[in-house]
Amino acid sequence: MKKIILSLSVMALISITANATEYQHGWKAYEKPQAGATYGGVETNPYGAGGSKSYGAGGGRSYGAGGGNSYGAGGGKSYGAGGGNSYGAGGGKNAANPWRVKND
């Protein structure tokens, strides 16, 4: 019985790792690694500046410039330059760009 539970646990961990193919950097989830950047399995401070759960500048829950909920420049909901809904340069929906808005 212990072997079955152990093997199921290992299979679950493998499945979780296989599905985490993105590279989290602040609130942006990159599909490809960025040059010169290092990535860990867990975000070190998601509530800090630029973090995925931060309401501050550049944070994932921020409505300000560069925030995940922002419609402004670089925002996650923006259709402008660098925005999550943009097909233009630096946009999250541009096929040449290696990032997308997480859970989009």
Q: Which residue has the higher pLDDT, 12 or 37?
A: 37
- Listed by start position, the domains of the chain span 25-30+46-104
In tens, the pLDDT along 25-81 reads 888 888 888 888 777 767 788 899 888 899 998 999 999 989 999 999 899 999 998
State yes or no: pLDDT of 87 exceeds 60. yes
3-state secondary structure 33-86: CCCCCCCCCCCCCCCCCCCCCCCCCCCCCCCCCCCCCCCCCCCCCCCCCCCCCC
